[in-house]
Amino acid sequence: METAQALRTPRAAAIAGILFSVLLITSQVLVWISLPTTLEAPAIDVIRESRKVSLAFNLVPFAGIAFLWFIAVVRNRLGAREDRFFATVFLGSGLLYVAMIFTSAALAGGVIRVLSKTPEILVQTGAYDLVRAEIYQAMNVYGIKMAGVFMFSTSTILLRTGIVPRWIPVLGYAFGAILLLSIGIIVWIPLLFPVWVFVVSAAILIENPSNVPGASP
């Protein structure tokens, strides 16, 4: 009974990683098709597309919860082989990434709520431009960089333990480098992170945990 439960847990958490990827990609695509990708998007565009944008940011908390489950499955697969140094960077960068996307979504939700009632207050005082800049910095600078660090640390752990095919951590290094070195607004770059998480989760879901030496019982 305990063995069956141990085998089901990684698979269930891997599904959570896939769910995170789908939710985050859906959220980002909804924002992109609703609003211009520049910081100069006028307030009227946000008001006009407020329903789509609100839906996009309402998906973020569920994506964050699913991502925490993804972190749990990776640590579960590592078991006693977990390296404390890389595990600390792995866990810290993952939590900071969740904090950044939650902060961005919260700020965006607040802006939409105020714009729908008294848009002139935000626009005339310059608060709208300020908050948009803060959202951009939190998500596309700090959040993306934390995602890159997470991919580097996770790829190192996966490469050393061999719990997934070797090409997956190698791909993680490449994607992580792009996220860390990217400058400016390139629309598709944020998608690299959820796509890679999807690949890792799918590999864990497909592979039988009992075939991995040293996997947690």
CA–chain centroid gap for 22, Å, is 10
> What pTM was computed for the model?
0.80
> In the prediction, which pLDDT does 14 show?
79
Segment 139-151, tens digit of pLDDT: 888 889 999 999 9
State the burial class of residue 113 (Cβ atoms within 10 Å of its Cβ: 0-12, 13-18, 19+). Answer: exposed
C-alpha dist (Å) from residue 206 to 8, 132, 165, 169, 177 = 12, 41, 11, 17, 27
CA 149, CA 147: separation in Å to the nearest integer? 5
pLDDT band at residue 198 under the 50/70/90 scheme: very high
Segment 55-106, tens digit of pLDDT: 888 899 999 999 998 888 777 766 656 667 777 888 899 999 999 999 988 8
The owner of tokens 């039988």 is 208
Q: Are 79 and 121 in contact (CB under 8 A)?
A: no
HEC-encoded secondary structure of 170-214: HHHHHHHHHHHHCCCCCCCHHHHHHHHHHHHHHHHHHCCHHHCCC
| Residues 20/24/203/156 CA torsion (nearest 10 deg) | -100
CA 27, CA 20: separation in Å to the nearest integer? 10
> In the prediction, which pLDDT does 26 show?
93
Which of 135, 137, 158, 154 is closest to 193 using CA atoms? 154
Q: Are 31 and 56 in contact (CB under 8 A)?
A: yes
Segment 130-176, tens digit of pLDDT: 877 888 888 888 889 999 999 999 998 888 878 788 999 999 999 99
Q: Are 21 and 201 in contact (CB under 8 A)?
A: yes
Please report, for the chain, the start and end positions of each structural domain, with discontinuous segments joined by +. 2-211
